[in-house]
Structure 1
C-alpha cells in the first residue's frame, strides 16, 4: 500500500514543520544550542556532579534503596490528566483517533469529528474546576499513604507544570494551574514523601493515530487534526509540539477502506511498545531530557516513576537518573534519598534503580525493595467503572498490601480523579475503609521488614511479573503473611477460620523459622486474651467470638529474646 502524492507531500511538510518548530534549547552554562539532528552528549546535558556516572555499572555500584522508602510501604497516586475529562478510561488520547473504538464513538458524539476537534481541544476543555488537593490529601493520609505520586505527564505529551521547554502545559492552557507544584508544596508542608511520574518517552509513537483518518463512512479518507498547522490555533500553540510530528513509518497510508483493516494495521505498526529513541526525530530525545530535568530540578521530588522497560530512551534515561541521584544526594548532605522506578530490568542491571511491577506482584521475597503500582479501576477516570461498581474493594487492596509488604515490596495505589478533580462516592468508600483498618493494623505494615518466609498458604502467584493481578485464587484462613519489626513477628491472616482457631504451621513447636519460645500473642484491635497452643503441627490461636473487622486480622507474636 502506498500513499498518494498529495498525502505524501502533506506528511513530509508536516514532519518538517514539526522538526522546525521544536526549540533547539540552550543548556545551562552554555550559550550554544544542540545542533539539529544530533543527540546531545552527556557532558552537554549539564549533569549534576557526584559519584553516579550515567552508566549501568556506576548506577548499580553506588545505589542503595533509602530506608524511608522501605519504611513507607504504601503510597497513593493521582494519575490525572486531560484524558480524565471525557471519563472514558485509559488511553483516550490515542483511542479517540481509532474508528470503531468506543472512545472514538464517544468523541464524535460528544465533541465532534477528530479531523476538527482533536485531543489538543480536550487539553483546552480540561479545567479541573473542582480540584481540592488539600481535602484529597486529608483522605490519602487518613487511608495510610506515606508517600504521594503526581502524574507529571502521560503518553499524551501534556505537562502538568509550567514547563520551560514545552508550551502544552497545565499552567498555560486548560486548568491554568501548576498541578505538580501544588501537590509538591502540600506534601512538603505535611512531611509526606513526594514523587512524579513521567510517561512521555512513548509519545512519539503512541500519538501517531492523530495523523490517521476514517476508513469508512462520510468522513472516510479525511486526515485527523494531527495535520493542523499552528496558524489555525488562536493561542499560537503548535499542535505538532503536542502530537510530536508524524513519523512516516507509523502514519497509516492511504487506501485502507475498512475499520477491521485499519485496526489490523495499527496493531501491527504503531501499537508497538517501542523503548528506543525515535530514529527519525533525535530532537524528541533532547527535548524529553530537558523537560524531565526541568521537572526534577524545579520540584526536587523524592521519586520519579518511568513507564518504561528499564530506563527511557537509551542514554538519555541513564543521564537523567545519574543527574537525579547526584542532585538528590547533594541536597541531603551526601545521603541518597532518591528512588527511580523502572520495569523488567535484565539481571546485569538489577539494583541500578527500583523494580516496579505494573498491576503485578512477586511470588516470593525479593532481595531488593520493589513496588507494585496498580489502580482501583482504570488509570484514567472511567465513569462506567463507577456506574457498574467494579472498583477494587478496600479488602482487595489490603490483601494485596499485606502480600506485597511480606515480600519486601511497597504498594502505590491510584485513585483516579474525574476531569474536574473530584472523586466519586465509591472511591471515597474505598479510602474510608482503608482509613478504618490502618490505625489498628498499620503497625504490621509500616516500618516492617520481611520474615524468613513471606507467609503460608497455597501459592496464588505463579511467577513474578507485570499484569498478574486478578489471576490468583480467593484467599482463605490458610493464607497468612508475615512481617517483622522491633523483635516481634506479625502474622496477618487473610481469612477467618470457621472453627475459630487460627493455625500457623510455620510456627509449630521446634520450628526452624522461629525456634525461640513464644511468650505472647496478641490480636490487634481486640481486648480478648488469646488462648495459645504450640504443638508439633502449628501454633494454634483460639480467636475471640467477634471479628474486629471484615478485611484481615493481625497478630503480634513476641518470642523470648533471651
Structure 2
C-alpha cells in the first residue's frame, strides 16, 4: 500500500486537461431510449427497457442480450475518423470503453475469446485500432473498464417473469451454453439486494475474481494504456480491494517499464461507498457527473456527457456546447481534468448535434487553448462569471458571459501597476486597463467582442502569478448543478437509478 500511495499525477495529464471517450456497445443498438443499462434492465419485468425489448425483439426467454450483440452491425466505425474528430475538438487524450457491465470486450481478449469485438459488432480489435490512431495523431490513449461490477450487475439475466403468460419461464441467461457472456449464477449472499447489485458484488467467487484480474492484466500487457479507469473503487468487497490493488500496481509497473522507469500511467477510481474499497492517494479520483466546489491540491477528473451515457435515438436532448464548455472551464479552474462522453450511433457514426458540439469545442480551443492547456489553478478559481487559470507569468480570466465595455476584476485589488505588463483579449488585442482600489478595470472596445462560448483575457505579469496577492470575491458554487445532474441522468444515464454520492 505504501508504494501505491507514492502515486503522483503525471505531468502530461496535468497539462492535458481535456479528454473524450464514447459509451458504445450493443446496448447502443437496443432500439430503446433506455439504453444506458439496457443489458440489466431488459431482464427486469415491467421496466421500460423490458417493455421495449418485448416490442422490438421478443421475450427475454427467447431473444436475449446475446441476440442483440449478434445483430449489431456498426459498419461505419472508423477509428481514424473518431480520433481525428476528437483531436480537432481539442482533446489531448482519448479513452476507449474496453468493457462495460455487459461483459463484452473490445479487444482481442484472451479470457473472453468469444464475446468480443473481433467476433461481433465491429469485427475488429477496437482497442488496437483506437490506440494506433491516437499514436498517429500524437495524443495519449487509455481504456475504461466497468467489469468490476458485472458479476452482480448482470445477474438479472438469471431470472424469469413473476406474472403473466411467461411466468416462471427462465430468461436466456440460464442457458449454460452462454455462461461465458451471462456469467455464472450467483447466490443472494454473493450479490445482495438491488442496492448492492448495481454498486458492487458483495462476495463474488474466487474464480470470477481471478478471471477479472486476468482480463485486466491482458488489457494492460497487450495494449499499454496511459490511462486506466475502474467504474468504482478497487475490486472486490470480500478481499478488501486486493484484486484491484494488484491490478493497479501492475498497471503502474508496466507503464514505468515503457517510460524509462517513470510511471506515466493515470489510474482513476471512484470514491463512492460500497463500490469496492477506496484507498486514498493510490490514484486519481474520478467524479461522475459532478464537479469539485473548490480548488483541489491533486488533480481529479470530472466525467460528463452530452446527454445520456449511450445513444438513445433522441438527437434533440443534448446539452448545449456552451454549457459543456463552461463546465470544462470551471473544472480546469479547480485543478481538475474534464472528460466528455460523445455517444455514437449504433452504426459507429455521430449524429449532427454531436458533430456540432465537437466543432464548437474545436473552434474555441483553436483560439483559446493557451488558457487551458498546461495551466494550473490560481489561488482562487472564480469571481462571479469569471474563472481563473494560471501559467508562469500569465493569469487568464475567462468570462462565461459576454462582458460589457468595462470589466472589473475585484480579486486583483491588492495588485500594483508594476505587476501588470499588458492585458489582452483573445491573445491578440491589447486593451487599456487601470488598477483602482476596487480592482483591475479593463476597457473593451465594442468591436473587439464577437459572439463566443467564453471570453478569454490574458493578464501578462512581471513575475510569476502564483506569487501575486489575491482576494476571494463572489465564489460560485456548483452544488445545485451537481444535484440537477444527479436527478436528471442518474447512474444509468437515463434517470432510472440514483447516482451514488461520493464520500469526499
TM-score if structure 2 supplies the norm length?
Answer: 0.86
How do 1:107-146 residues align onto structure 2 when only pairs under 5 Å count?
Answer: 107-146=53-92
| Unmatched runs of 5 consecutive residues or more in structure 1 | 1-54, 231-238, 252-265, 458-478
Please report how far the alpha carbon of residue 250 of structure 1 lies from its aligned counterpart in structure 2 after TM superposition: 7.2
Match of 2:167 among 220, 234, 237: 220
Hey, what does 1:502 align to over in structure 2? 407
Deviations 1:254-311 (A, max 9, x none): xxxxxxxxxxxx9x82342576665352110000000010001001010101001355
CA distance in 2, matches of 1:348, 1:80: 27
What secondary structure sits across from 1:556 in the alignment?
strand
Residue aligned with 2:292, SS: coil
- Check whether the contact 2:234–2:278 (CA below 8 A) recurs between aligned residues: no
Question: Rg: which structure is higher?
Answer: 1
Counterpart-to-counterpart distance in 1, 2:16 and 2:8: 16
Partners of 1:105 and 1:83 in 2: CA distance: 15
Alpha-carbon offset, residue 229 of structure 1? 3.0
Q: Shift of the alpha carbon at 1:337?
A: 0.4
Say if 2:388 and 2:397, in contact at 8 Å, map to a contact too.
Answer: yes
- Name the structure 2 match of 1:68: 12
In structure 2, the CA distance between the partners of 1:333 and 1:532, relative to structure 1 (3 Å rule), is same
The 8 Å contact of residues 275 and 309 in structure 1, kept in 2 or not, is answered as no
Equivalent residues in 2 for 1:53-64, closer than 5 Å: 55=1, 57-60=2-5, 62-64=6-8
CA positional deviation for 1:185: 0.9
Of residues 364-373 and 97-106 in structure 1, the stretch that sits farther from structure 2 once superposed is: 97-106
SS of equivalent to 1:357: strand
SS in 1 for 2:194: coil
> For each residue in 1:451-492, what CA deviation from the matched residue of structure 2 results, as whole angstroms up to 9, or x when unmatched?
1111222xxxxxxxxxxxxxxxxxxxxx11111113111100
Q: What is the 5 A alignment of 1:395-474?
A: 395-457=322-384
Report the equivalent of 1:289.
Answer: 213
The 3 A distance-change label for structure 1 pair 419 and 173 is same
After TM superposition, give the deviation of residue 342 of structure 1 in Å: 0.6
Cα distance in 1 for partners of 2:39, 2:278 equals: 36
Q: Is the 8 A contact 2:107 2:126 kept in 1?
A: yes
Q: Secondary structure at the match of 1:349?
A: coil
Residues of 1 paired with 2:123 and 2:270: CA distance? 33
- Give the match's secondary structure for 1:367: coil
1:493 aligns with 2:493: no
> Residues 208 and 273 from structure 1, CA distance in 2 versus in 1: closer, same or farther, beyond 3 angstroms?
closer
Cα drift, residue 98 of structure 1: 1.3
Normalised to the residue count of structure 1, the TM-score between the two structures is 0.77
Per the alignment, residue 308 of structure 1 pairs with 232
Q: How does 1:75-90 map to 2 (within 5 A)?
A: 75-87=19-31, 88=33, 89-90=35-36
Counterpart position of 1:349: 279
3-state DSSP of counterpart to 2:111: coil
| 1:561 alignment partner in structure 2 | 463
Matched, 1:552 2:454: yes
Cα root mean square deviation, aligned: 2.2
Separation (CA, whole Å) in 1 of partners of 2:333 and 2:272: 22
Alignment length, in residue pairs?
A: 454
Q: How far has the Cα of 1:100 moved from its partner?
A: 1.8
Query: 2-side partners of 1:282 and 1:82: how far apart?
Result: 28
Q: What residue is the counterpart of 1:193 in the other structure?
A: 140
- Once the two structures are superposed, what CA deviation does each residue of 1:484-531 show, in whole Å capped at 9, x if it has no partner? 11311110011123x4222211012x24xx88522210001664x422
- Partners of 1:501 and 1:541 within 8 A in 2: yes
Residue 104 (structure 1) aligned to one of 40, 44, 50: 50
Q: Deviations over 1:89-120 (max 9, x none)?
A: 30010111112222111111111110001111
